[in-house]
Amino acid sequence: MPIDLSESLVIGISATALFDLSESDKIFQSKIINDPDTAIEEYRNYMLKNENEPLEDGTGMPLVKALLNLNKHKKDGDAPIVEVVVMSRNSPETGVRVLNEIRRRNLNISRSAFTAGESNVDYLEAFYVDLFLTTSEEDAQKVIDSNVCAAAIVKAPPKSNKHLKEDQVRFAFDADAVIFNEDSEIVNQTKGLPSFHENEDKNQDEPLAQGPHANLLKKLSKIQERLPGRIEYSPIKLAIMTARNSPAEMRVIKTLRSWNVYVDEAFFLGGLEKSRFLKAYKPHIFFDDQDSHLDPASGDVPSAKVLYPTISPLKKIIESKKSSK
């Protein structure tokens, strides 16, 4: 009988987001433009020669380890709480190094896809993936545009992961253009902060529309219900980390209530630097749409960028502002 993972949290992660493969990638990228055949051959030879050499952590490793630990709470007969699928553009042959490292670390990952240079995005739905983490902007953009699941581009690994717990997993989400759609942020960008505050206060009883990571947040909230210690002491902690502040905060809280989503912590920062609060919260992953928030944070916590859809009006507004400077 086919396995159904619809009730599980399924994370699809590229090999380059799970492990640090930057050295092999440099070999490939240095020649791929001018001499593709040589680049592929040198990359293949490098991976075969080093297939038994250990790999360092990628940005997504702490998140994956903490999520896999949640399966110790699974009840007999239930679907897994979490499944992780490794998605790689390696061929099966050159992917042996990745598989060897998974075994060396005793990671409970049994599913993978190796597509020999082809995009693996088309297989996310088949794998029931709820979140796809990658280092490829092209792949992340394709997922965002297709709306098949949540997706983000991981930043480089932080300086240290030693402060992150493995018996609890912590998510931190930006609000507008991540959990919620970009309509309110468009008001901010085009009409200014006073108009934004007025709009949000006036419409506080009207739920915000869903953004690219709304379904992921809802799925995490459902997974919380399967775990012990619900609610305050759940092994999954969810936080909203937003530049919104009063009087724009009530619409966020009321929207989450209308979705029947419980968020453990919410920070309405009103322009204060998010990295200061993220360093204290210690998330296993922080999602935001703006590099101005991600870059200061990524040195201390694993961080990932949520792209705008290609046809996004907000994307065009921001790009226009940048080009006019």
Please list the active-site residues: 174
Report, in this order, helix, strand and coil percent for the chain, each rounded to 5: 40, 15, 40
Strands in 169-173's sheet, in edge-to-edge order, are: 111-114, 82-88, 9-14, 131-134, 150-154, 303-305, 285-288, 169-173, 236-242, 265-268
> Please, are residues 122 and 145 in contact by the beta-carbon 8 Å criterion?
no
- Cα separations in angstroms, 102 against 20, 97, 99: 13, 9, 5
- Looking at the chain, the number of H-run helices and the number of E-run strands are 13, 10
Look at the chain and count its residues: 325
Q: Distance between CA 84 and CA 108 in Å, rounded?
A: 8
| Run of H or E including 84 | strand 82-88
**96-104 vs 36-49: helix crossing angle, rounded to 10:** 30
